[in-house]
Amino acid sequence: KAGVTQTPRYLIKTRGQQVTLSCSPISGHRSVSWYQQTPGQGLQFLFEYFSETQRNKGNFPGRFSGRQFSNSRSEMNVSTLELGDSALYLCASSPRMGEYQETQYFGPGTRLLVL
Amino acid sequence: AQSVTQLGSHVSVSEGALVLLRCNYSSSVPPYLFWYVQYPNQGLQLLLKYTTGATLVKGINGFEAEFKKSETSFHLTKPSAHMSDAAEYFCAVSKDTGRRALTFGSGTRLQVQP
């Protein structure tokens, strides 16, 4: 099976712009989670989607949003970009939602640089 | 709320030496614990996980970890380090009430000296 894919891999934006990142989960996986990784804050949970519905959300401002499509692919959007949004954004998929012991499979990430 | 503490942001060992990466957790409920590895410019790869049952968990690439409830620890070990083990390692906990999101430690960068 192909792994989790994320596009684009690298992105440069300027402050105030918005950005959309894409994630395709492993075939058959229905849950997609997003994480932000920065040197200062480490890995932080953004949100989780299952069956096209946001199920959990981390402590991020409303500028961060996402959605999931019927084929389980997910996008996340960041509006009004700030310098602090520069990070590696990781997507992870798992077969179901609510199963705490399930492994989350991570993609390679999208590295976003905000200038 | 759950949290994870990884002692030592950088660990350096010689090739062939024992690898010991420390992880302590706090959780209001019995946790599920994970170790992930991240190689440069890559995502996270699961090494091993503890859910229930045997407290000594064996993972990929010769790594293992032992869940010690009395010490709230889940340290990662490997008997003999290899150059290819050089990477960043993250301990994570799951199963806080109502949320399945992983809570990660700050990571430990492992350096392997020839």
Task: Give Cβ neighbours of residue B84 (< 8 Å, ≥ 6 apart).
Answer: none
Name chain A contacts of B105, Cβ cutoff 8 Å: 42
Q: What is the pLDDT of residue A98?
A: 59
Name chain A contacts of B99, Cβ cutoff 8 Å: 56
User: Position of tokens 């809570």?
Assistant: B103
- In angstroms, rounded to a whole number, what is the distance separating the alpha carbons of residues A21 and A6? 8
Query: In Å, how far from its chain's centre is CA A89?
Result: 6
Residue pair B20/B30 in contact (Cβ under 8 Å)? The answer is: no
Name chain A contacts of B102, Cβ cutoff 8 Å: 33, 35, 43, 45, 104
- Pair of tokens at residue B95: 């199963």
Which residue ranges in chain B fall short of pLDDT 70?
95-100
Q: Is B67 an interface residue toward A (CB < 8 Å)?
A: no
Average pLDDT, chain A: 92
* Model confidence pLDDT, tens digit, residues A35-74: 999 998 999 999 999 889 998 889 999 999 999 999 999 9
Q: What is the pLDDT of residue B99?
A: 57
Asked if the Cβ–Cβ distance from A45 to B102 is below 8 Å, we say yes
Interface test with B, best of A6, A99, A106 (most B CBs within 10 A): A106
Q: Is the pLDDT of residue A93 over 80?
A: yes
Q: Comparing C-alpha atoms, which of B91, B94, B95, B89 is closest to residue B110? A: B89
Q: A66 burial class (0-12, 13-18, 19+ CB within 10 angstroms)?
A: buried
